[in-house]
Amino acid sequence: MKQDPETRRGSFLSIKTAVVLSIFLIAAGASAFRNDNVPPEEVKISMIDRDSIESVKAFETVYKTLMSPRCMNCHPAGDVPLLGDDSHLHTMGPKRGVDGKGVYAMKCSNCHQETNTPGLHTPPGNPDWHLPPAAMKMVFEGKSAHELAEQLVDKKKNGNKDIKKLIEHADDGLVLAGWNPGEGRTLPPVTHAEFKKAWITWLKTGAYAPKK
Amino acid sequence: MAKVTLNINNKDYPMEADPQMPLLWAIRDLAGLKGTKYGCGVAQCGACVVHLDGEAVRSCVTKVSRAAGKKVVTIEGLSETNSHPVQKAWQEIDVPQCGYCHSGQIMSAAVLLREKPNPTDQDIDDAMAGNICRCGTYLRIRKAIHTAAEMQKKTAAKS
Amino acid sequence: MNKDNTALNRRSFLKASILSGGGMLLTVSWLSGFKSADEAEALNVPEQWARLNGYIHIMPDNKVKLICPNPEFGQNVMTSLPMMLAEELDADWKNVTVEMGPHDPAKLGAQFTGGSNSVRMYWKPLREAGAAARQMLREAAAQTWNVPVGEVTTKAGVLSHPSGKSAKYGEMASKAAKVSVPKELQLKAPKDFTIVRKSKKNVEIQKITSGKPLFGLDYSVDGMLIAMIQHPPAFGMKLKSFDAAETMKMPGIKDVFSVKLYEDGFEQGGFDTRTFNELLVVVGENTWAVMNGRKKLVVDWEAAGDIKDTIGGRGGKREVIVPGALESTTSQMQQMQEYAAKPAQQLRKDGDPESAFNNAAQVIERTYNGPFLAHNCMEPMNFFAHVTDEKALLAGPLQAPGWTEPTLSKLLNLPADKIEIQMTRMGGGFGRRAYGHYLYEAALISRKVKAPVKLMYTREDDMTYGIYRPMYTATYRAALDTNKNLIAFHVRGGGIPEHAIHANRFPAGAVDHYLAEGWQIPSNITIGAFRAPRSNFNAAAEQSFLDEVAEAAGKDPIEFRLELLKRAKENPVGKNNEYDADRYAGVLKLVRDKSNWNKPGNEKYNRGVAAYFCHNSYAAHVVDMVTRDGQPYVERVYSAMDCGIVINPDAATNMVQGAVVDGIGNAFYGALTHKDGAAQQTNFSNYRMIRINEAPKSIEVHFVQNDLDPTGLGEPPFPPVFGAVANALYKNKGKRFYNQPFMGEMDKAI
């Protein structure tokens, strides 16, 4: 295992992270992966091929993507989503609600349709448009790379996602919506393929959290 | 163009419409119901709020195709005799100035009261922040929603 | 009695009233509608409406229909003006229905909604109309009962005689219609009012809450087409050429063409402002078809260059060069700084300000800036037109039909009596709909396509090609002597394309040495009335400057103003001071008392005060600010108003509350900026509007109680909100904010 003295503290925390994942692996058992899109050997390899430097490097791409407006805007620190490339508070301040789908007359799907609405400044669309629910807010906004990395693999904070589900999540409809943002909105800094590669690499090399 | 039937206020309206046409224009131009207003066309102002299967959708960005087969209720159909508690409260508090945004305001408030019969000021702000009133009647809107909640409670107690 | 003679006298009086009234546009020509009803008309009107004059119809079943002369844009004139009629008529308000009158200046007067003038201008004529009708009913009863008319009394729609005889108005209406118009009228004393000063509900509230088609966009006739205009992408551009082939292939599209609004040399009226002259028009069967069709247009735009306009109206005919540059906010700011350093036009000078400043113990100088503001009426600009070779019918939201009709008549080459203009309820106005260009556009389009047409602006059209509140700047200087007394005051204001300075307003008259100057920079960005456009900038700048001067003088901001007003009252400087110092002080004292200013119990608030006089009424506000979620939030407001007699108190309160909310919103967020001639804000997504969660929790409104003739409330409560917010923000943030919108400046500061 390559070790960089500079990232010692990060490595220490990353090891803790890896332990959590290992526990999951045992609990889930090999059968859980059989019908998965991800070839089983990859997963197995990923869990044993820890590489803190490669992992942290991959996370750079993951982090800058997740912190881009297209991803972060729906992972706000407060209960109001963010809007625009400058990630200002969503006009009209729609609230998260218990299920993340808004409240009363201000439910997400009252404006956000199943597909993008044509035109500038119109609501982007997705059949499942929502924020993380109140009990699992999955905040990105304001998180350092270190904090976000830890949070992403913490089942108590990531929506109870194990590594398999985390890998699958790269192809989640709402994640993909970031790369189909509607007219006038910038795309995330890398392509979805690049993001997915970095995401899986990060997870497979031990999901190490950067030092900061 | 496609044949589509919209059920608006419990009445079927068969029409020839582009399935991409916003529900707002089907309601106003094709069904001829003018109570639902155009304000921005981009779901920012709430003047066009109607109920689609009970939810306060903004009809300016809701396509006709989404509304087909569902129940649309507009301000004209909120009550038969202008007597929904929200309408009555709006009358009692004399909320409007120009009045243009108020069908949308009333439709939003009706959903709030259904889901939260005793709303706090915070609930009202959370529910109504999607409806712009350019004349600035927001304080009366809050007051009228509280009044409507009281009216609703009394009606429920009687029945 | 001689009917003809009376009518003739009345018409003569009308003439005289015009002559003595001065400003022609605002003179009410009500008395011509007052002609004694001729019998045939009285008998033939449908449903036996007995027509007593232009405003009042009484039915045999005692229903009273009152005609509202002025268009309604939310200021509630459809209720308050008929209340004046009903008061003097002694009608039973329960039996009153109100209808909006068509444009009919001969019968209904100026019919101008704007300048906070409706109530003020109609106060006397409408009461006289009501009193005349009541007098005629009394005459009819007296004749019927064979008693002296002086013994017939009225109350709530009932005529009575001490003998016990009584009749409802409906029973006497037909007979009364034949009675001559009285020569002399007795109007009620305020203490006898039974309708005025009692809150009455909006007469259209039931229609509003049930979604009845009240507004211009709701107006519809069979076979009506929808039209939209594809405007150039920027101020300073014009249409070069277009290819409509793809648009014409779109479903529902009827026609695409260009039309010129004013021919070269056309003499425009003072309110005929238009942004673009060459209009590219798309006409189709319905709104969605036209919206889609527009997207397929292939258009070449080109620089318009300088444009020569001929403007008529008040002040005579003149030629104006509209510069052709593609302006940007940044370049405009630079230009304003350059102009601010140049000599300006002197607007008023008292004493010797130059030496006063030279000899002052302390000089305070501050510069304030305000951006263009878009009206953003909730109902975008639109108008219905059906124009044929013989006549024209127009219907829609319009503040000033009387200014619009003469131009329309010239454009269509139709006499005024062949033009019918109906005013729908307006989804907001704020001054924007005093400019009738969209009506002319609709009329020309209808004439071209030979069909009834509704011209509609989308929100983007409405916002990006507006008649904005101008962009303003002003530099204020105050000189204090060693005793911290204000000895000199200097304001130099400028703007694009006009400055905001009202040279004769407070503190003019209260300072020995006073200088007001103005300069302006021509521009192609179209501007106009906006809820007291100059005042709302002044009240922000001047009132926060005075706050700063009071602080420098070590005085409470209210006491400081009151001292100045005392001076202006007792020993005024100069002539032509526009304001009444007592009434100005009155609202300050009232708001001071009601808000418990400087009293314990308000420590949690950052308090700001401001007062202003404009459009004949006086307003003062105390704004109580807190920090909420890290942001300044106006939680509570106290307002004091002096608008004389308050016609409809609850509706008046509504107006003031709305103005406060509007003022807070515009002070914090309002801004329309340009880049290369193009408006940078296009819709509510990037033009921030105040919303319910940002509105105060309470706005307590108090009116000074007096029996003075009523003045308006549309504008006056609005301007001082800006100043009060600025002053509270200073307390909240510990620094002064000089540039609107304040939220933008705060963002920059962070």
Q: Which residues contact C120 (CB under 8 A, 6 or more apart)?
A: C616, C709, C710, C711, C712
Q: Distance (Å, rounded) from C-alpha B138 to C-alpha B47?
A: 14
The pLDDT of residue C49 is above 70: no
Kindly determine whether residue B56 and residue A121, on different chains, have CB atoms separated by under 8 Å. Answer: no
Number of residues that make up chain C: 750
Q: Is the peptide bond before C507 cis (omega within 30 degrees of 0)?
A: yes
pLDDT single digits (tens) C297-315: 999 999 999 999 999 877 7
Instruction: Mutate one of A91, A106, A108 to test the B interface: name it (highest B CB count within 10 A).
Output: A106
Domain ranges of chain A: 11-89+136-204
Q: Distance (Å, rounded) from C-alpha C469 to C-alpha C372?
A: 5
Angle between helices C437-449 and C401-412 (to 10 degrees): 30
Total Cβ atoms within 10 A of residue A201:
18
Instruction: Mutate one of A83, A106, A120, A183 to test the C interface: name it (highest C CB count within 10 A).
Output: A120
Helix or strand holding residue B50 (H, E): strand B49-52
The pLDDT of residue C24 is above 50: no
Q: What is the CATH number of the domain that holds B38?
A: 3.10.20.30
Buried b (16+ CB within 10 A) or exposed e, C214-234: bbbbbbbeeebbbbbbbbbeb
The pLDDT of residue A172 is above 80: yes
B72 shares its domain with B6:
yes
B108 touches chain A (CB under 8 A): yes
pLDDT attached to residue C125: 86
Bridge partners of B49, per DSSP, are: B58
B158 confidence band (pLDDT: 50, 70, 90): confident
B8 shares its domain with B48:
yes
pLDDT attached to residue A188: 97
pLDDT attached to residue B146: 98
Instruction: Mutate one of C76, C219, C249, C378 to test the B interface: name it (highest B CB count within 10 A).
Output: C378
pLDDT single digits (tens) C647-695: 999 999 999 999 999 999 999 999 999 999 999 999 999 999 999 999 9
Across A48-52, C392-396, C532-536, least confident range: A48-52
With vertex at residue A85, the alpha carbon angle to CA A81 and CA A91, rounded to the nearest 5 degrees, is: 40
Total Cβ atoms within 10 A of residue C317:
10
Kindly determine whether residue B112 and residue A95, on different chains, have CB atoms separated by under 8 Å. Answer: no
The pLDDT of residue A32 is above 60: no
B126 shares its domain with B65:
no
pLDDT attached to residue C38: 36
Q: Identify how many contiguous H helices and E strands chain A contains and give both numbers.
A: 9, 4
| ipTM score | 0.99
The pLDDT of residue C245 is above 70: yes
pLDDT attached to residue A114: 96
C52 confidence band (pLDDT: 50, 70, 90): low
Higher pLDDT, A3 or C674: C674
A91 contact residues in C (CB cutoff 8 A): 684-685, 688
B127 contact residues in A (CB cutoff 8 A): 103-106
Helix or strand holding residue C520 (H, E): strand C513-520
Task: Look at residues C32, C27, C26 and name the one whose alpha carbon lies nearest to residue C14.
Answer: C32
By Cβ distance, the residue of A93, A120, A121 closest to C693 is A93
Domain endpoint, select from B53, B77, B101: B77
pLDDT single digits (tens) C586-643: 999 999 999 999 999 999 999 999 999 999 999 999 999 999 999 999 999 999 999 9
pLDDT attached to residue C736: 96
Burial (0-12, 13-18, 19+ Cβ within 10 Å), C513: buried
pLDDT attached to residue C26: 16
> A interface toward C at CB cutoff 8 Å?
91-93, 120-121
Q: How many domains does chain B fold into? A: 2
By Cβ distance, the residue of B97, B131, B141 closest to C74 is B97
Q: Distance (Å, rounded) from C-alpha C327 to C-alpha C524?
A: 8
Residues C473, C335 contacting (CB under 8 angstroms):
no
pLDDT attached to residue C745: 67
pLDDT attached to residue C108: 84
B75 contact residues in C (CB cutoff 8 A): 209-211
pLDDT attached to residue C556: 98
C210 contact residues in B (CB cutoff 8 A): 35, 75-76, 82, 87
Burial (0-12, 13-18, 19+ Cβ within 10 Å), C23: exposed
Instruction: Kindly state the tokens that stand for C1.
Output: 């009695």
Q: Distance (Å, rounded) from C-alpha B14 to C-alpha A124?
A: 29
Kindly determine whether residue A117 and residue B116, on different chains, have CB atoms separated by under 8 Å. Answer: no
For residue A127, how far is the Cα from the chain centroid?
A: 19
Residues A20, A157 contacting (CB under 8 angstroms):
no
B9 shares its domain with B71:
yes
Kindly determine whether residue B138 and residue C698, on different chains, have CB atoms separated by under 8 Å. Answer: no
Instruction: Mutate one of B134, B137, B143 to test the C interface: name it (highest C CB count within 10 A).
Output: B134
Kindly determine whether residue B91 and residue C659, on different chains, have CB atoms separated by under 8 Å. Answer: no
A95 touches chain B (CB under 8 A): yes
User: Mean pLDDT over residues C269-295, rounded?
Assistant: 96
A114 contact residues in B (CB cutoff 8 A): 66
A45 confidence band (pLDDT: 50, 70, 90): very low
A95 contact residues in B (CB cutoff 8 A): 126
Domain endpoint, select from B77, B108, B142: B77
DSSP C496: E
pLDDT attached to residue C119: 94
What's the whole-number average pLDDT of chain C?
91
A109 contact residues in B (CB cutoff 8 A): 55, 57
Q: What is the CATH number of the domain that holds B153?
A: 1.10.150.120
Kindly determine whether residue A120 and residue C684, on different chains, have CB atoms separated by under 8 Å. Answer: no
Instruction: Kindly state the tokens that stand for A90.
Output: 């969503």
Residues C473, C339 contacting (CB under 8 angstroms):
no
User: Mean pLDDT over residues C5-32, rounded?
Assistant: 26
C288 confidence band (pLDDT: 50, 70, 90): very high
Across C133-142, C312-321, C480-489, C515-524, least confident range: C312-321
Q: Tell me how close the Cα of A122 comes to any Cα of chain B, in angstroms.
A: 5
The pLDDT of residue A12 is above 80: no
pLDDT single digits (tens) C391-439: 999 999 999 999 999 999 999 999 999 999 999 999 999 999 999 999 9
Q: Distance (Å, rounded) from C-alpha A104 to C-alpha A109?
A: 11
Domain endpoint, select from B15, B49, B77: B77
Ordered domains of chain C (ranges, CATH): 3-198 (3.30.365.10), 216-310+381-456 (3.30.365.10), 471-749 (3.30.365.10)
What's the whole-number average pLDDT of chain B?
97
Report the percent of chain B where pLDDT is more than 70: 100
Residues A118, A183 contacting (CB under 8 angstroms):
yes
User: Range of B92's domain?
Assistant: 85-158
Q: Distance (Å, rounded) from C-alpha A68 to C-alpha C396?
A: 47
pLDDT single digits (tens) B73-86: 999 999 999 999 99
C748 confidence band (pLDDT: 50, 70, 90): low
Kindly determine whether residue C378 and residue B101, on different chains, have CB atoms separated by under 8 Å. Answer: yes
User: Mean pLDDT over residues A148-167, rounded?
Assistant: 94
User: Mean pLDDT over residues C119-124, rounded?
Assistant: 92
B94 shares its domain with B69:
no
Task: Look at residues C596, C551, C160, C557 and name the one whose alpha carbon lies nearest to residue C366.
Answer: C551
Q: Is the dihedral of CA C105, C109, C111, C114 positive or negative?
A: positive
User: Mean pLDDT over residues C697-714, rounded?
Assistant: 98
C65 confidence band (pLDDT: 50, 70, 90): confident
For residue C637, how far is the Cα from the chain centroid?
A: 23
User: Mean pLDDT over residues C323-336, rounded?
Assistant: 95
B128 touches chain C (CB under 8 A): yes
User: Mean pLDDT over residues A128-140, rounded?
Assistant: 96
